Each structure stands twice: as structure tokens, then as C-alpha cells.
């Protein structure tokens, strides 16, 4: 049977699967409406139910032939779960017959078909690709807590049956245990890391925004803005950007997609890559600064001009308090203070630095007369950094693989910068795709409509990403954009 399925042209069929309460049928219905397609919504295979043979489809015909529905709610969680998985297997068999039949019907000719499917992800991998499958997930606890809140007749009928039981409280408790077993964390994780693109339920996201994210996942829409971290993400480990990556970004920008970098680097530390990429926006200094890229004059590129459109900074008093605090605990600490495009540094090796050779020497013997966007220092232990941040009210960041600690204004960071950029550019957050690898990218990846981690990202980043692409050394950003956007 699988060989026959593989010979079918599935290119017009888009499958949505996942967990309960994730909005699958709503997305299917709205996608079909928007693209003048066909929606196969939840339980669409019920149209075949009257003609099914009970020997071949014992689980699907169970409810069809049920005489007393009280038996339905009296089953143990184990019995109910076995029935659900049995019905799912039978649904898969039906779907793999019904969809090919639909594809050749005159009314479906040339139309896109969107399916709220019961086909197992393992089976989907056998005959379709990542651009035609979307996993939609809601927290498993929602299915138990909200099951009886749904107004649809089926749920309300079950609730009435439970109330009619001799011990309604015990009956409801038994049914909730059943829901917990069906919608287990194990099943959730299995879908979450199946390899297909994932869209998580967001109570604040509108139906229209969810549909647009599904369109991006299905390559029916390109993102309006690409946000990417530099180190360990867009850049290869040797600090280069491949020609392939530049080519992919260039083609997308020709189609109108905006490009923004979002990096922990100071502006002068990112300048080399700003010259190469010429991004539309530069989020630097850990999200405390945004510069618009339209101004490409030598004056602006050399830091004498300014095209800053957003700045989150400490007061002069806070700036000096943090510097003093660092020197109090570690008098020989190397400290960098960024104020706009200017970076002060108490190092004797400024000229030798690849990133910060344009920094200004400062030994911090006198108070600074500037408002810092970010202060960073190498410290021997995290406890010292925590003490300083606690005393000054600063946000603390530690970078992967080093004892470098950054102090940011409490309202500073990539998340706040991207929210500001969204307002400035008129591009909604759900129309952005973000790429990252480190802990300071978590907010960015969860905030944007599609968050993509490179495979070399730390576990905390991979676990929250909608998708994981190849590593930075394999041009993961370009590969994802080429395949998905």
C-alpha cells in the first residue's frame, strides 16, 4: 500500500496534526478559505462511517453501533486510550484512501487541500515532506482543564452523561484521568520533536496571525523580516559568512524581505559584518541599540554620524555605580562600557583586538560622563556578577563558554529591541523569522512568529525553537531560508 501512496502527487495537500486545543481545524478552515482551497476538517472521515465494516473498523464503528452511551464514559483510562489509538490507526487507513480519491475529482482540480489529519507523523514522513506538514501543539494540561468548557454538542453530551452516573464526581475524575493519559507529556514531546515544523498555542495571537504563521511554515508566504544572531549562528566558526549565505539573503531581499542582525556585539565589533551584509537594521550591544541601515555614508560607518532609532541606557549615575562595583570586587577586571557606537576599554591591547580596535582607552580613574547601553567584564565567579547586578538593578547575562558577564538596563535586551523595531518598521512580530544559538536569543526566538535554532545551539535554545536547522558551519540559516522561505 505504501508504494502506491508514494506514487501519488501529494504536492497540493497540506497536513495539520498535533494535540487537542491547538486550533488545528480552525487553521485548516481559514487556510482553505484564504487560498480558495478545500478544508478537510476534524473527523471529516465520519462521512464514511455509515458504510464501514465493523470487522475491519472495530474502533470507528464502536460509537456508531453503541446502544448505551453510559458504557462509553465508564471505561477505564487504559481502555479509552487503547480505543483512541485504535481509532487513529483506522482513521489513517481511511484518510489514505479518501484524499487520493478527492485529488482526482473535478471539483478538486488545481485546488490546495488542507487536512486536519490523524495520520501518524511516522507515516507522513514516508510520502510527504517538511513543507507540507505542520505540528500544532497546546499544553497538555489544557485538554483536561478546558474539555467541558467547549460548547460543541459532543463534549456537552459527555458531560451530561457523567453527571447522570451514580457517582458523578468519581465519573468525572475517571474521565479527567483518561484525558491526562491521552494528552500525556510523552505524546506531546513525541510530536514536538518529530522533525516537522511546530506552532505552539499562543493565547495572545489572533486567528489571522496564526494563519499567516501556518502559511510561512507551508511556504505559502515569505517572512517580511529576517532577524539573525551573528556569532555561532550566521557566522561560521572561523568568523566568515559563506557566499551561499550571502546569495540566499540577497535573493530574499530582492523580493522585499528585510534583514536585521541581532547581536551581543558592540556596534564597532559588528561593523565588519555590517559592511558585508548591509542590513536594513542593526540590533547591537545585546539589544540595547538599533541603527537603521539606510545611512551608509562613510561618516556613519566610521561612527561619527548616527542613525540610531532606539537606545536603552543606564543613567550616568548607574553607569558609574556598576563600573565602581566591578572594580570594588576585582580591581584588575577588564571592563568595556558601550555608549552608542563608542566603546571604552581599560585594556593595553586595544590596537591588537580584532573586534574592538576602535575602542577608546579609559582606566576608569575618573567618573564617566556618558550613559552606558551595556557594561561587560571578565569576572572570576558568577556570584560576584550577581551581587553587582542585584545592587544596581541591572539585568545580568553570561555568555556561553566564557567568564564574560554583561550588565544591561533592566528594560534592555533583544526582546525589547525587536518590539521597538516592529513598531518602527510596521512589520508585525508574527511576520518575522529569527535565528539564534545562545541564551540571550531565547526571548527573540519565542517572540517572533518563527524561531529557528541552529543545531549547534545550546539545549535551552533548541528546546524552545519552532524548528532546528543545520549548524552554523553548515550554513544552517541559509539552508532553512532556502528550503522554507
Residue with cell 576608569: 364
**Got the DSSP string for 402-448?**
S-EEEEE-TT-SHHHHHHHHHHHHT--GGGEEEEE-SGGGHHHHHHS
Place of cell 478559505: 33
Residue 406 has pLDDT above 80, yes or no: yes
Range with the lowest mean pLDDT among 106-120, 227-241, 288-302, 384-398? 288-302
Q: Is the CA virtual torsion 216, 218, 220, 222 positive or negative?
A: positive
Does 370 have pLDDT greater than 50? yes
pLDDT per residue as tens digits for the range 154-177 = 888 999 999 999 999 999 999 999
Say what the pLDDT of residue 2 is: 61
Q: What percent of the chain is predicted at pLDDT more than 70?
A: 97
How much is the average pLDDT of 417-442? Answer: 93
CA dist 170 → 76, 164, 309 (Å) = 12, 12, 61
Taking the C-alpha atoms of residue 157 and residue 332, their distance in angstroms, rounded to an integer, is 73
| Measured CA angle at 201 (ends 197, 205), to 5 deg | 110
pLDDT score, position 121: 97
* Domain architecture of the chain: domains with CATH: 2-217 (3.40.50.300), 225-312+413-484 (3.40.50.1000), 316-408 (3.30.1240.10)
Give Dmax (Cα) for the chain: 88
Q: Quickly count: other Cβ atoms within 10 Å of residue 298's Cβ.
A: 8
CB of 372 within 8 A of CB of 359?
no
User: Which pLDDT tens digit goes with each residue over 371-402?
Assistant: 999 999 999 889 999 999 999 999 999 887 67
The confidence score (pLDDT) of residue 302 equals 52
pLDDT digits (tens, 9 = 90+) for 172-192: 999 999 999 999 999 999 999
Q: What is the pLDDT of residues 183-225, one digit of tens each?
A: 999 999 999 999 999 999 998 899 999 999 999 999 888 889 9
Confidence of residue 297 (pLDDT cuts 50, 70, 90): very low
- Cβ neighbours of residue 123 closer than 8 Å, sequence gap 6 or more: 92, 96
Mean pLDDT of 111-128: 96
Q: What does each C-alpha distance from 158 to 69, 168, 172, 338, 418 come to in angstroms?
A: 9, 12, 10, 62, 46
Average pLDDT over residues 421-435: 92
- 51 pLDDT above the threshold of 70: yes
- For the chain, the average pLDDT equals 92
Percent of the chain with pLDDT over 90: 80
What is the SS3 assignment for 297? coil
User: What pLDDT digit, counting tens, does each position of 302-341 carry?
Assistant: 544 579 999 999 999 999 999 999 999 999 999 999 999 9
**Residue 151: per-residue pLDDT:** 78
Please determine, for residue 301, whether its predicted confidence score (pLDDT) is greater than 60: no
- At residue 140, the pLDDT reads 92
- Per-residue pLDDT, 460: 94
- Beta strand 13-18 with 133-137 is parallel
pLDDT per residue as tens digits for the range 252-273:
999 899 999 999 999 999 999 9
Supply the pLDDT for residue 3.
62
Band of pLDDT at residue 152, cut at 50, 70 and 90:
confident
Four-residue CA torsion sign, 271, 276, 281, 285: negative
Degrees to nearest 5, angle at CA 56 with 55 and 59? 85
Report the range of poorest mean pLDDT among 38-47, 299-308, 444-453: 299-308
Confidence of residue 483 (pLDDT cuts 50, 70, 90): confident
Band the pLDDT of 153: cuts 50, 70, 90.
confident
* C-alpha cell of residue 29: 478552515
* Non-local CB neighbours of 163 within 8 Å, separated by 6+ positions: none
Per-residue model confidence (pLDDT) at position 474? 98
For 397, phi and psi rounded to 5 degrees? -130, 135
pLDDT of residue 100: 95
Amino acid at each position: 500500500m505504501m508504494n502506491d501512496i508514494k506514487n501519488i502527487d501529494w504536492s497540493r495537500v497540506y497536513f495539520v496534526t498535533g494535540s487537542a486545543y491547538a486550533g488545528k481545524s480552525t487553521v485548516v478552515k481559514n487556510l482553505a478559505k484564504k487560498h480558495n482551497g478545500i478544508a478537510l476538517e476534524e473527523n471529516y472521515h465520519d462521512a464514511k462511517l455509515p458504510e464501514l465494516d465493523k470487522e475491519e473498523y472495530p474502533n470507528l464503528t464502536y460509537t456508531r453501533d453503541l446502544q448505551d452511551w453510559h458504557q462509553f464514559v465508564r471505561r477505564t483510562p487504559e481502555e479509552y486510550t487503547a480505543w483512541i489509538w485504535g481509532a487513529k490507526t483506522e482513521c489513517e487507513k481511511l484518510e489514505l484512501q479518501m484524499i487520493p480519491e478527492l485529488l482526482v475529482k473535478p471539483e478538486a482540480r488545481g485546488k490546495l487541500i488542507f487536512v486536519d489529519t490523524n495520520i501518524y507523523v511516522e507515516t507522513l514522513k514516508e510520502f510527504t515532506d517538511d513543507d507540507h506538514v505542520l505540528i500544532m501543539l497546546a499544553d497538555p494540561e489544557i485538554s483536561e482543564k478546558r474539555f467541558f468548557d467547549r460548547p460543541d454538542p459532543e463534549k456537552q453530551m459527555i458531560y451530561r452523561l457523567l453527571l447522570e452516573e451514580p457517582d458523578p464526581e468519581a465519573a468525572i475524575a475517571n474521565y479527567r484521568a483518561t484525558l491526562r493519559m491521552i494528552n500525556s507529556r510523552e505524546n506531546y514531546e513525541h510530536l514536538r520533536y518529530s522533525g516537522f515544523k511546530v506552532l505552539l498555542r499562543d493565547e495572545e495571537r489572533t486567528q489571522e496571525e496564526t494563519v499567516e504563521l501556518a502559511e510561512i511554515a507551508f511556504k505559502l508566504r515569505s517572512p517580511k523580516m529576517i532577524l539573525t544572531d551573528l556569532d555561532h549562528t550566521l557566522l561560521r566558526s572561523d568568523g566568515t559568512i559563506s557566499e551561499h549565505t550571502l546569495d540566499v539573503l540577497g535573493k530574499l531581499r530582492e523580493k522585499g524581505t528585510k534583514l536585521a542582525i541581532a547581536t551581543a556585539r558592540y556596534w564597532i565589533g559588528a561593523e565588519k559584518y555590517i559592511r558585508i551584509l548591509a542590513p536594513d537594521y542593526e540590533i547591537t550591544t545585546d539589544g540595547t541599540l538599533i541603527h537603521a541601515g539606510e545611512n551608509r555614508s562613510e561618516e556613519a560607518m566610521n561612527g561619527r554620524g548616527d542613525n540610531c532609532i532606539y537606545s536603552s541606557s543606564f543613567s550616568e549615575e548607574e553607569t558609574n555605580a556598576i563600573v565602581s562595583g566591578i572594580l570594588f570586587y576585582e580591581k584588575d577586571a577588564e571592563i568595556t562600557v558601550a555608549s552608542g557606537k563608542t566603546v571604552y576599554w581599560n585594556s593595553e591591547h586595544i590596537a591588537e583586538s580584532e573586534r574592538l580596535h576602535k575602542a577608546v582607552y579609559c582606566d576608569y580613574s575618573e567618573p564617566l560622563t556618558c550613559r552606558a547601553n551595556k557594561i561587560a567584564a571578565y569576572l572570576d565567579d558568577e556570584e560576584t556578577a550577581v551581587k553587582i547586578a542585584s545592587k544596581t538593578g541591572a539585568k545580568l547575562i553570561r555568555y556561553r563558554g566564557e567568564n564574560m558577564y554583561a550588565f544591561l538596563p533592566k528594560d534592555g535586551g533583544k526582546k525589547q529591541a525587536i518590539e521597538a523595531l516592529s513598531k518602527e518598521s510596521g512589520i508585525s512580530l508574527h511576520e518575522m523569522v529569527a535565528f539564534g544559538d545562545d541564551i540571550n536569543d531565547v526571548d527573540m526566538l519565542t517572540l517572533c512568529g518563527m524561531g529557528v535554532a541552529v543545531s549547534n545551539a545550546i539545549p535551552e535554545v533548541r528546546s524552545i525553537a519552532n524548528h532546528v536547522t543545520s549548524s552554523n558551519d553548515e550554513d544552517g540559516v541559509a539552508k532553512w531560508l532556502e528550503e522554507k522561505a
